[in-house]
Amino acid sequence: MKSTSLEIIEDLKKAGYEAYWAGGCVRDMLLGIQPKDFDIVTSAKPDDIERILEHTVPIGKQFGVILAIKNGHSFEIATFRSDAGYSDGRRPDAVEFTNAREDALRRDFTINAMLYDPSTEQIMDYVDGQKDIRDRLIRFIGNPEERIKEDHLRILRAVRFRNAFDFQYHPETYQAIKKHVHLIENISPNRIADELSKMIMGNSPGRAFEELFEIGALEIIIPELCKLKGLAQPLMYHQEGDVWDHAMKALNSLTDEEIDPNPLPAEPPSLALKWATVLHDIGKYETFAQDQQRIRYDHHAEVGSDIAKKILTRLNFSNKIIDRVHWLIRHHMMIVPLFEMPDGRRRHWFLQAGFEELLELNRADTVGTEPLDLSQYEKLKLLYRHEIAKLKLMPKNLLSGKEIMKICNLPEGEKVGEIIKDLRDKQLSHELKTKADAKKYLLKHFL
């Protein structure tokens, strides 16, 4: 990708235009981070870009943004511009094509406004971005209140960058964020969800959520999560603090490779797992109760899974993410009973598509607890690995749904699904070994 971006810059320069890397890739290089994208800015107008480059898409041509596709990579190429007015708190009402300096001054934070000429290795820094990187500061360019009013999402972006890079805020930037945090109410759910997901997938997600609570943003976005602050836990099982402390500690554990260098699943935690972890005890506020022995939260997993579904639906997450988070939270308390299940029933759970993430949620839940005891998790992980190696060799179901419907004279519906599940459990526990066994079992129990 880097080499291809250099080719595009060279093509634009050969045509007589200025062209530089801009924004996040320059910031990341100065921080010693490998850039994921290489955005390009240029003095060429959109029509010129389309003429010079072979494969382009006018994704934001009215704002001077063209997508270039080359060597299988995509690059956003933007014409130097200044913006005029943001009446909707997101997009400029009009743009004027200008020069490199004006283009830098229209951006959000100083650390995101530097340009870099890869052919001369020259940094163009009109806003003291290098100084702020040295001092590890998040600072709005110019008047911070004006920057926020232009695009309200910049409040959440400030929180994300501050926590992603372990920076601090310039005092004027922080005060502006606190003053205008109510503007978050005007941001579309999709944009909020995107920023929150970037935070949750970052290096310090727990701290980011702490900060969202501190500035008052979380009360606007996810008020249900704020109820975990100060929510008491039974001290014989939880000495780490309140339910909020537990949830944040569990979330942070997913990025700590020292806790389990060989986790399941082997790949990095998914977005669904991260959201399931931060919301896994969201039902404890609604189910808080006391008896003679201790504090209890009976059925908090079931209640919490439904609350989580409402939250993620409100934020316009995909059905795929919502369904997986709902399933993980709903079943996060059934890990321990697996040891007591019949072999067939346990094998049924082991074959569930999300079981490895469920096991990882259990690990995070356990690590978020003091005193720490990972012995059950380790035993279950070993049992799972042993069993799944055998289960991968298991044959298909003994009978299909259509065969069951014919034998039992049943219409398509839930009853057929229940029978398929029952037969599968019996098959996994070796109670039924052949198709004939399965037919005899149906004739005996379902006719």
Give the chain's radius of gyration (CA, Å): 27
Buried b (16+ CB within 10 A) or exposed e, 108-122: bbbbbbbbbbbeeee
- Residue 398 burial by CB count (10 A; 0-12/13-18/19+): exposed, middle or buried? buried
From-to residues of CATH 3.30.460.10 in the chain: 2-135
Tell how strand 168-169 and strand 137-138 pair up: parallel
Q: Where are the alpha helices (DSSP H) in 16-143?
A: 24-30, 46-52, 100-105, 129-135
The helix/strand count (H/E) of the chain reads as 23, 13
Identity of the amino acid at 40: I
Beta bridge partners, 167, equal none
User: Could you give the 3-state DSSP secondary structure of residue 204?
Assistant: coil
- Each residue's pLDDT expressed in tens, for the chain with a length of 447 residues: 788 999 999 999 999 999 999 999 999 999 999 988 889 999 999 999 999 998 989 888 888 899 999 888 898 999 999 876 556 556 666 678 899 999 999 999 999 999 999 989 999 999 999 999 999 999 999 999 999 999 999 999 999 999 999 999 999 999 999 999 999 999 999 999 999 999 999 988 999 999 999 999 999 999 999 999 999 988 887 888 899 999 999 999 998 765 666 666 667 899 999 999 999 999 999 999 998 888 999 999 999 999 999 999 999 999 999 999 999 999 999 887 888 888 878 888 888 889 999 999 999 999 999 989 899 899 998 888 888 766 655 567 888 888 888 888 888 888 888 888 888 777 777 788 888 888 888 888 776
- Residue 265 burial by CB count (10 A; 0-12/13-18/19+): exposed, middle or buried? middle
* Of residues 61, 45, 57, the one with CA closest to residue 12: 45
- Of the CA atoms within 13 Å of residue 207, those in its CB half-sphere come to 14
Architecture of domain 2-135: 2-Layer Sandwich (3.30)
Q: Within 10 A of 85 (CB to CB), how many other CB atoms are there?
A: 10
Q: What is the pTM of this model?
A: 0.83
